């Protein structure tokens, strides 16, 4: 199992569109990916929009990503890169 910690870069956190972008990327990697807030007790499927939204990850929160399978390291690197970005400002400019 591969793991990565990352600080949420989006100002408001993983809500609506940023969460959808993250879930889409997690689903596209083709591996089981899980996400949890560091210090929290709940780990959820990163491919489920409802689960990711329910996590309540805010901007500046640290989350833990976990993935299993061949290519997990690369998949997590891509997801970390996505979460580090301020997706709120990117979606506002689009």
CATH assignment at residue 34? 3.30.1340.10
User: What pTM was estimated for this model as a whole?
Assistant: 0.91
Confidence band of 4 (pLDDT split at 50, 70, 90): very high
Residue 66 backbone dihedrals phi, psi, to 5 degrees? -135, 140
Nearest to 51 by CA among 22, 86, 28: 22
Number of domains within the chain: 1
Helix ranges (DSSP H) in 7-48:
16-28
Span between the terminal Cα atoms of the chain, in Å: 36
Instruction: Band the pLDDT of 87: cuts 50, 70, 90.
Output: confident
Catalytic residue among 15, 17, 58, 85: 15
64 DSSP β-pair partners: 5, 36
pLDDT digits over 30-75, tens only?
Answer: 999 999 999 988 999 999 999 999 999 999 999 999 999 999 999 9
Rounded mean pLDDT of 68-83?
96
Residues 8, 83 contacting (CB under 8 angstroms): yes
Q: Domain range for residue 19?
A: 2-93
**CB neighbours of residue 15 within 10 Å:** 17
15 is catalytic: yes
Q: Would you say 52 and 23 are in contact if contact means Cβ atoms under 8 Å apart? A: yes
pLDDT at 88: 77
């Amino acid at each position: 199992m591969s793991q990565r910690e990352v600080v949420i870069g989006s100002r408001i956190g993983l809500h609506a569109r940023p969460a959808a972008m993250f879930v889409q990327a997690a689903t596209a990697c083709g591996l089981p990916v899980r996400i949890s807030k560091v210090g929290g007790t709940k780990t959820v499927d990163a491919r489920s929009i409802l689960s990711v939204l329910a996590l309540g990850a805010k901007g500046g929160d640290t989350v833990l990503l976990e993935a299993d399978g061949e290519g997990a390291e690369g998949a997590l690197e891509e997801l970390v890169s996505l979460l580090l970005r301020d997706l709120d400002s990117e979606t506002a400019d689009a």
